[in-house]
Amino acid sequence: MTLLALIQARLEPLPDGLEAELDAGLAAARARWPHGPEPDAAFADHLVARLSPSPRIEDLYLAWWCTTGDPAAIAAFEARYGDDLRIAAARFRDLSADELRQQLRVKLFVGAPGSPARIGDYAGKGSLQGWLRVTALRSFVDAARAARSHGREQPLDETELLGISDPRGQVIGSELAIAVKKAFAESVARLVPRQRVFLRHAYVDRQTLDQIATHYAIHRATVARILAAAREQLIADTRAGVAAAVDIDDDDLSTVIRALDTDFQLSLSRVLDAPGSAR
């Protein structure tokens, strides 16, 4: 059954001109995304629920495709609108543009309990680009207000981290302290936004794996993997950075890193919960 027939079965009579608009819009969508799914009964339902006098079929197709959770759809969406999001996020200079976009991705494509993915709200009455710009701006303004309420984020290289001991049982020496601090800061910068967000949930907000998983509508095992990978990356990158900066033998370096690893939870919690850091 053709898409038009599927729509006719759901909507009588058909609005004037819909057939021509449908043909043109779908042709444009198929030309732009030839790897996208064939419009089916689910798309017919999606379209009928959002019909307007001049429906934007191409935009509605992309939005519907994104509601399926297909990674290819998200990639297509970001390829088309990534520049718009980067420009919008750049206006909020006091906040991390990567984290702003990551939070928006979660709202758009994942949602949360009681708050379904926002991409399903697009009704096709205006362009998807215009709708996205408004949605992104509202999300970023909310994030800016939250940051002002809780204070700005500080990097994870505060001197609290340097309370570990050096191989001689003393508080870490100045040269080694500088190397550890620099290496740790650089390793934090290499974390992806979701890793930093999940670390904050786990070590500052003291949320459980289940609580984080519920908030982002993902499996707890996924949260566990993200946290484990972030921790391993921080330790490994810090070790490599210290080894490259300071003349220290492998045994002493291993002792320093073991001390850092042992105190990781306490140190990270103190750093992320320092006065003025964002929640």
Quick: pLDDT tens for 55-110: 788 999 999 999 988 899 999 999 999 999 998 888 887 788 888 998 899 899 98
Distance between CA atoms of residues 46 and 40, nearest Å:
10
HSE-up of residue 159 (Cα within 13 Å, Cβ side): 4
Give CA angle at 233 (228, 235), nearest 5°. 100
* Helices (H), ranges, 190-279: 193-203, 209-216, 220-245, 250-262, 264-272
- The residue among 199, 208, 168, 178 whose CA lies nearest residue 267 is 199
- Span 128-136, mean pLDDT? 90
* Dihedral over Cα of 52, 55, 57, 59: its sign: negative
Mean of pLDDT values over 155-182: 50
Highest average pLDDT, of 11-15, 46-50, 163-167, comes from 46-50
- State how far the alpha carbon of 169 is from the alpha carbons of 27, 164, 174, 227, 272, in Å: 71, 9, 14, 30, 26
Mean pLDDT estimate for the chain: 77
User: Can you tell me the distance from the alpha carbon of 73 to that of 64, in angstroms, rounded to the nearest whole number?
Assistant: 9
Judged against a pLDDT cut of 90, whether residue 271 lies above it is answered with no
pLDDT of the residue at 150: 56
Reply yes or no on whether the pLDDT at 158 is more than 60: no
pTM above 0.85, yes or no: no
Contact 109, 213 (CB under 8 A): no
pLDDT of 216 higher than 50 = yes
- The count of other CB atoms within 10 Å of the CB of residue 255 is 18
Per-residue pLDDT for 157 more than 80?
Answer: no
